[in-house]
Structure 1
């Protein structure tokens, strides 16, 4: 390990934000002084900037300078610090905001004496993992009813530019029943950053939230460090304090673009659409931090992955789909019930939720699928049957009361609402559900009338 007092004055080139220098290969039996991902300081005159080792090829070492190479020349001195990026970890970081270097950016009290931990540690031993078995409630019916978010799950929100994925992610973070929220912003505009902060503050969750934010104007290399800092902190809270931690990251496509940019600047050969061949490994290394610890808490990862041109075969969403356990598909301002999938929902449905959950979920999706087919028949001027008319009426109610992103309902109330909507459009025998569930949950005539009157009153108040 190198001493920070050893100065290297062998800079050979400055390419963009990358510095290249020669470091002597250690003799036999000696320990190399430079390691991949180690930090260094680059100094010239009054200028001192942080850098990270991103490539080692024989005697040539490449470093990415965090704040750029402007003002530096080949006369610069490089001091290797002998350790990778570290992040502050203690209870004092809750309610704090950090930049891409791990420094507080909220003008709060200093944390210089709080303990630090190295980022990007190994993934947990599979023998120390517990099977996913606990639900994270979000009060979003399209998630809680149809695609449950499960502790230790890793799942993205697939969407496109212009969709309200960031407000949706902020809402989940504000409402999810997790102990700790760790937020990682990757290339965020200031408006988005401010929105997330205000959302957490207004909802009362900011005091149990840690934010790591790389804004669009910040260094690209910091964008690569933010997920690792967030995940390291999440692991420490889960392992050492037994907390149920929800990690929110947006946008992973910006992260992948940063990988591509730095890789190409470092003369690495690009692969599919300019992305490097190790894109899958880089994404998997982060997503696999999701874990339910046998002797501790859990880390659940929910990210945003934008799809350029709404192309799900784009390298970023394509590779993500092989790693994660489903996806929430945000399309036209709604959670698409057909494009969304949670592969772990069967671990909790009917086990931690009501006995009618599975039947309500399957029946409502079946009826909404029929409503979409009836809508296509209507658009092509085919004659509609009475049952088609029932399906169309249900489809409109389903979109209004379930698919809108501002719908906020606990799971049990959402299930009750599902029964009300089905009973409003269909008789009990048309639902093709288990008789005992029909007898237990199908609303009575009086109940249905009360619901209709309540809806009319609400509409009248809105008007």
Structure 2
């Protein structure tokens, strides 16, 4: 613990930034307390130190700060989160303070919210299946422990409902190990916050969850700290309490907008679309905190959710997120407008680790084969639908018509499961076989004959 230093040398306040002069021994990232003339205390963090000047990032806004009367104290350590196993089941604001009316936490320790760099050699390979209860994810874009799998959404799409569904339903199969969900909400409305809290309370999922909520009317600068605070709590539960933790972060677009706001206030040279040139590096400091460590029983799995501005997947936020993470789940306006919930577009969606969590001993032996066949059949069905629009139904062969039937059934029965249907992986796989049986056996070219012999007779006898 460093020596606390106090100054009354604030020279300038610009937006969420404050300049303090004549400082000594102040370090980058150091925690700052600002006492106002009315006794109110606000917090900040050192962004930059140059000679005898420090640039401080204010977490709670700059309104009401009197340059002459404000007292600035440098704490001598970075922003830390008090952690305890009692965090599970609690709701906190974006800075980690309880807002659920419960008692103050008695911290077991304090942890730097920026975490520790993970040596790549100490990482363990992610290969254990996590069941979300959502067929389009569990079967076709399998999530495994330690993975980072983002959801790319668009304006008006129900990504909040999908996030709540995953938080309620996610579980580790055939395991008595502890499982927890850490939920970080950034820049959401009061109504959205109420939805998440009420949904998790009503279903009992709050008992295994830790919520960090940064509202839209909270200072934007707080959004930069919120995901780091949530990940610090997740790492503590995973690596010190041997829990398997799923971290859901929404909306990463709001986080990036806050970064852009601070960058503009610092008068930095902007990069693509006005975002700072270090956006990729900054996002990687969040996403790379997912994983499993050799010698540790716990794991941190991430599902970051972002809304693509103007539904543009080449926008810097989804573009850079895609480079860092291991796939993407894409939500579709077309499916949403057709009434399908959740509107997951499985064809452009991808989990780069899906084959690692599928198979005998993890899910079921027919998982990988049926996954590939469903992808192929659905892709062919969509092509046939486009062909029918141009040439008419009369131009379709009998097999083509079966593909159209399959595609409609796939979207209606498989994708459109609703936000409150929790399917086991066995139910999902059986449903996949039921849909594939619509097609002639000769079209199921991606499944071995012995597997077809095993599963197709079961369907015909039912």
2:43 aligned partner: 50
Aligned partners of 2:204 and 2:107: how far apart in 1? 28
The more displaced of 313-322 and 189-198 is: 189-198
Residue 141 of structure 2 aligns to a residue whose secondary structure is coil
Summarize the alignment of residues 23-38 of structure 1 with structure 2, pairs less than 5 Å apart. Answer: 23-24=22-23, 26=24, 32-38=25-31
1:361 aligned partner: 371
Count of matched residue pairs: 440
Is 1:388 matched up with 2:400? yes
Aligned partners of 2:9 and 2:58: how far apart in 1? 16
2:254 aligned partner: 254
1:434 aligned partner: 448
* Alignment equivalent of 1:129, drawn from 119, 123, 128: 123
Summarize the alignment of residues 89-238 of structure 1 with structure 2, pairs less than 5 Å apart. Answer: 89-111=83-105, 114-177=108-171, 179-238=179-238
Aligned partners of 1:37 and 1:345: how far apart in 2? 41
2:244 aligned partner: 244
Contact 1:2 1:80 in 2 (8 A): no
Aligned partners of 1:356 and 1:45: how far apart in 2? 68
In structure 2, do the counterparts of structure 1 residues 113 and 350 end up closer, same or farther at CA, with 3 Å as the change threshold?
closer
1:414 aligned partner: 428
Residue 151 of structure 2 aligns to a residue whose secondary structure is strand
2:388 aligned partner: 378
**What TM-score, normalized to structure 1?**
0.91
Residue 163 of structure 2 aligns to a residue whose secondary structure is helix
In structure 2, do the counterparts of structure 1 residues 34 and 293 end up closer, same or farther at CA, with 3 Å as the change threshold?
closer
1:454 aligned partner: none
Return the offset for 1:405.
Answer: 5.0
Aligned partners of 1:90 and 1:203: how far apart in 2? 24
Unaligned runs of 5+ in 2: 173-178, 337-342
Aligned partners of 2:107 and 2:129: how far apart in 1? 37
Summarize the alignment of residues 228-307 of structure 1 with structure 2, pairs less than 5 Å apart. Answer: 228-296=228-296, 297-307=298-308
| CA root-mean-square deviation | 1.7
Aligned partners of 1:353 and 1:2: how far apart in 2? 51
Contact 1:335 1:405 in 2 (8 A): no
Residue 39 of structure 1 aligns to a residue whose secondary structure is strand
In structure 2, do the counterparts of structure 1 residues 100 and 254 end up closer, same or farther at CA, with 3 Å as the change threshold?
same
In structure 2, do the counterparts of structure 1 residues 265 and 421 end up closer, same or farther at CA, with 3 Å as the change threshold?
same
Residue 305 of structure 1 aligns to a residue whose secondary structure is strand
In structure 2, do the counterparts of structure 1 residues 120 and 375 end up closer, same or farther at CA, with 3 Å as the change threshold?
same
Is 1:39 matched up with 2:32? yes
In structure 2, do the counterparts of structure 1 residues 113 and 298 end up closer, same or farther at CA, with 3 Å as the change threshold?
closer
1:456 aligned partner: none
Residue 237 of structure 1 aligns to a residue whose secondary structure is helix
Aligned partners of 1:78 and 1:19: how far apart in 2? 10
The more displaced of 319-328 and 37-46 is: 37-46
Aligned partners of 1:408 and 1:272: how far apart in 2? 41
Return the offset for 1:377.
Answer: 1.4
Residue 164 of structure 2 aligns to a residue whose secondary structure is helix
Residue 162 of structure 1 aligns to a residue whose secondary structure is coil
Is 1:78 matched up with 2:72? yes
Q: Looking at CA atoms only, which structure, 1 or 2, has the larger radius of gyration?
A: 1
Return the offset for 1:445.
Answer: 6.6
Return the offset for 1:168.
Answer: 0.3
Return the offset for 1:288.
Answer: 0.4
Residue 139 of structure 1 aligns to a residue whose secondary structure is coil
Return the offset for 1:247.
Answer: 0.4
The more displaced of 332-341 and 298-307 is: 332-341
Aligned partners of 2:106 and 2:34: how far apart in 1? 18
Is 1:319 matched up with 2:320? yes
Deviations 1:18-41 (A, max 9, x none): 2212134x5xxxxx2343342332
Deviations 1:407-463 (A, max 9, x none): 53211111111111221x22323322311011100145753xx5xxxxxxxxxxxxx
Residue 43 of structure 2 aligns to a residue whose secondary structure is strand
1:330 aligned partner: 331
The more displaced of 348-357 and 241-250 is: 348-357
2:7 aligned partner: 8
Deviations 1:269-319 (A, max 9, x none): 211111001100100011000111222210000010111011111111111
